[in-house]
C-alpha cells in the first residue's frame, strides 16, 4: 500500500473468502441432491464421486493458471480485482444455470450438471487465486499476521455457521431458488466490497513468463488423477465380482479393508509421486515435507468427506427424504464449524505450549472418536456431539499442521512448497468421494432393506484415515523449536 493501513482494509482484503466458502458449502448440499435426482439411489455415490474428482482436479490446474495470469496483469484497476469481478460474474451465471437443472431427470440432467460444474470450478478459481494474493501484494509484513487472522475467521467458521441458518433451512423446505438466491446475493455483496481494496495498476510490465512450474503441476495432477482413477476402478470391479460370491458380512469386511487400502495407497503413492514431480531432487533431501503432506491429506480425507456425504448418510441411514436430509446435514456442518471457530485460536496456543506432534496426535485420535460417535447411533443429538468432537479436533489440526508445514519448507521457496501442498486440499475430496462412492452404492444395491449400511462402512474408513494421519507423524523430523 502507498498509504497507512486503515481498519476497513481488514475487511476489503478478506471479505471475499466469506462468499467463496459459503458458496463451497452450499454447493456441497445442493450437488448431492441433484445427483441423487438424476441417477437414483443405487448409483448416486458413484456418480457424485466422479463429479467430485474431475471438478477438484480442474480446480488444482485452474487456480494455478489464473494465478500465473493475474501475476502478470497490467489492468488499470489492479492486478487482482478484474479477475475477482469477472470470475464472480461467471460464477453467478453458472450457479443460476444449475438452478434450472432441478426440472430435469435422468442421465441428461447429470451430463448437464457435470458440464456446468466443470465450468463453475474453472470460474471460481479465478477470483480465489486473485484474492489469495491480496495480502502478499498489499499488506506490510509486520501486519500480515493480523490480516491472516481476520481471513481465517471469515474463511472457515463463519460461512459454515451461516449455511445452517440460510441455505440448509431453505433446502429442507424445498426452496431451491431461495437457497441459490442467497448464494448469489452474498457473492455479489462480497465482490462489490472487495472492489474497494486499495489496488493500483502494476507499475512495471513483468518479464518473460516461465511456464515450467505450471507444466510440472500439469504432470503432477495427471499422475495423481490416473492413480485415483485406477484405484477407484479396482474397488468398483472387485465389488461387482465379490458381490455375488460372498455373504453380506464377509463382503463388508473385504470391501472395508480394500477401500481403506485403496485410499491409503492413493494418499501415500499420490503424495510421493506428486511431490517428487513438483520438487525433483529436493523432495529426496526433505522427506519430512512429503510426510507432512501425507499427514494433512489423510486427515482432510476424513474431515471433508464426512461432510460431503452427510446428505446421503442422513437420507440413507436415518430415513430422511431427499430434500429434508439437507437440514440435519447442514446442522452437523454448523456444529463442526462452531467448534473450529472456538478452538482454532486455542489450537495455536496449545501448539506453542505442547508442540506440534502432541497436538496433531491428539487431533487424529479425537477425530477418530468423533467418527465412532456418529457411527454408533441414529440419535441426532449424539451425532451432533460426534460432530462437535470432530470440529474440536479439526480446529487444533488446522493450527498445528500449518504451523508445522511452515517450519518444514525452505524460507526462500515457501510459496512453491506450500503450493504443492494443495495436493492435500483438492486430493482429499477426490480420493474420498471417487474411491468411496462405489463402496456405498454396492451395499445400497445388495442390502435394500438397510440402505445406510454402505455409508456406515464408508464413514468407518474415513475414521481410520484419521489414524493414518497420526501414523504419518512418526516419519516427520520435527524442527527442534517444536
Q: What is the pLDDT of residue 1?
A: 67
CA-CA distance, 46 to 108, in Å (whole number)?
A: 16
Residue 432 has phi, psi (to 5 degrees) of -65, -40
**Grid cell of 270 as nine digits:** 499420490
CATH topology of domain 214-482: Growth Hormone; Chain: A; (1.20.1250)
Q: What is the pLDDT of residue 482?
A: 41
pLDDT band of 69, cuts 50, 70, 90: confident
- The pTM of this model reads 0.86
What average pLDDT does the segment 78-88 reach? 93
Domain ranges of the chain: 1-197, 214-482
Tell me if 1-197 shares its fold with 214-482. Answer: yes
Q: Which candidate, 470, 166, 180, 440, places its Cα nearest to that of 310? A: 440
Q: What is the pLDDT of residue 346?
A: 77
Say whether pLDDT at 220 is over 80.
yes
What average pLDDT does the segment 19-32 reach? 93
CATH topology of domain 1-197: Growth Hormone; Chain: A; (1.20.1250)
DSSP letter for each residue of 285-326: H-HHHHHHHHHHHHHHHHHHHHHHTHHHHHHHHS---TTTTH
Say whether pLDDT at 307 is over 90.
no
CA-CA distance, 455 to 316, in Å (whole number)?
A: 8
> Tens digit of pLDDT for each residue in 316-357?
888 888 778 888 888 888 898 888 888 876 777 787 788 888
Say whether pLDDT at 283 is over 80.
no
Lowest-confidence segment of 30-39, 53-62, 125-134, 402-411 by average pLDDT = 402-411
pLDDT band of 416, cuts 50, 70, 90: low
What average pLDDT does the segment 104-115 reach? 96
pLDDT, greater one: 330 or 462: 462
> Tens digit of pLDDT for each residue in 372-397?
999 998 899 999 999 999 999 998 88
Amino acid at each position: 500500500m502507498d498509504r497507512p493501513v486503515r481498519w476497513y482494509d481488514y475487511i476489503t482484503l478478506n471479505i471475499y473468502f466469506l462468499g467463496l466458502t459459503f458458496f463451497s458449502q452450499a454447493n456441497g448440499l445442493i450437488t448431492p441432491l441433484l445427483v441423487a435426482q438424476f441417477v437414483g439411489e443405487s448409483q448416486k455415490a458413484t456418480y457424485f464421486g466422479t463429479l467430485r474428482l474431475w471438478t477438484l482436479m480442474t480446480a488444482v490446474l485452474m487456480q494455478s493458471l489464473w494465478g500465473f495470469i493475474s501475476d502478470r496483469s497490467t489492468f488499470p484497476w489492479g492486478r487482482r480485482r478484474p479477475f475477482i469481478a469477472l470470475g464472480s460474474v461467471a460464477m453467478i451465471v453458472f450457479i443460476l444455470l444449475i438452478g434450472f437443472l432441478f426440472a430435469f431427470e435422468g442421465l441428461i440432467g447429470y451430463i448437464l450438471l457435470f458440464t456446468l460444474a466443470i465450468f463453475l470450478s474453472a470460474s471460481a478459481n479465478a477470483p480465489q487465486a486473485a484474492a489469495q494474493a491480496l495480502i502478499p501484494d498489499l499488506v506490510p509484513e509486520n501486519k500480515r499476521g493480523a490480516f491472516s487472522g481476520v481471513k481465517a475467521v471469515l474463511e472457515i467458521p463463519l460461512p459454515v455457521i451461516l449455511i445452517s441458518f440460510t441455505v440448509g433451512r431453505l433446502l429442507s423446505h424445498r426452496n431451491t431458488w431461495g437457497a441459490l438466491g442467497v448464494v448469489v446475493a452474498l457473492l455479489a455483496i462480497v465482490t462489490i466490497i472487495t472492489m474497494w481494496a486499495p489496488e493500483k495498476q502494476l507499475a512495471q510490465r513483468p518479464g518473460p513468463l516461465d511456464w515450467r512450474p505450471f507444466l510440472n503441476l500439469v504432470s503432477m495432477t495427471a499422475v495423481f488423477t490416473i492413480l485415483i482413477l485406477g484405484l477407484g476402478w479396482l474397488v468398483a470391479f472387485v465389488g461387482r465380482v465379490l458381490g455375488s460370491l460372498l455373504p453380506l458380512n464377509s463382503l463388508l469386511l473385504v470391501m472395508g479393508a480394500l477401500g481403506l487400502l485403496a485410499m491409503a495407497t492413493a494418499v501415500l503413492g499420490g503424495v510421493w509421486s506428486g511431490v517428487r514431480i513438483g520438487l525433483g531432487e529436493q523432495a529426496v533431501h526433505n522427506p519430512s515435507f512429503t510426510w507432512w503432506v501425507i499427514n494433512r491429506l489423510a486427515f482432510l480425507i476424513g474431515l471433508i468427506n464426512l461432510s460431503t456425504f452427510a446428505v446421503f448418510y442422513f437420507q440413507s441411514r436415518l430415513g430422511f427424504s431427499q430434500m429434508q436430509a439437507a437440514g440435519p446435514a447442514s446442522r452437523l456442518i454448523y456444529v463442526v464449524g462452531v467448534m473450529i471457530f472456538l478452538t482454532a485460536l486455542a489450537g495455536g496456543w496449545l501448539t506453542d505450549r505442547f508442540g506440534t506432534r502432541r497436538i496433531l496426535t491428539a487431533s487424529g485420535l479425537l477425530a477418530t472418536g468423533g467418527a465412532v460417535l456418529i457411527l454408533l447411533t441414529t440419535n441426532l443429538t449424539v451425532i451432533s456431539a460426534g460432530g462437535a468432537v470432530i470440529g474440536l479436533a479439526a480446529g487444533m489440526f488446522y493450527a498445528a499442521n500449518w504451523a508445522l508445514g511452515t517450519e518444514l519448507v525452505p524460507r526462500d521457496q515457501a510459496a512453491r512448497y506450500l503450493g504443492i501442498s494443495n495436493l492435500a486440499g483438492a486430493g482429499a475430496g477426490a480420493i474420498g468421494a471417487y474411491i468411496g462412492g462405489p463402496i456405498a452404492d454396492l451395499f445400497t444395491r445388495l442390502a435394500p432393506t438397510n440402505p445406510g449400511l454402505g455409508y456406515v462402512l464408508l464413514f468407518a474408513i474415513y475414521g481410520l484415515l484419521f489414524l493414518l494421519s497420526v501414523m504419518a507423524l512418526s516419519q516427520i523430523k520435527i524442527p527442534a523449536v517444536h
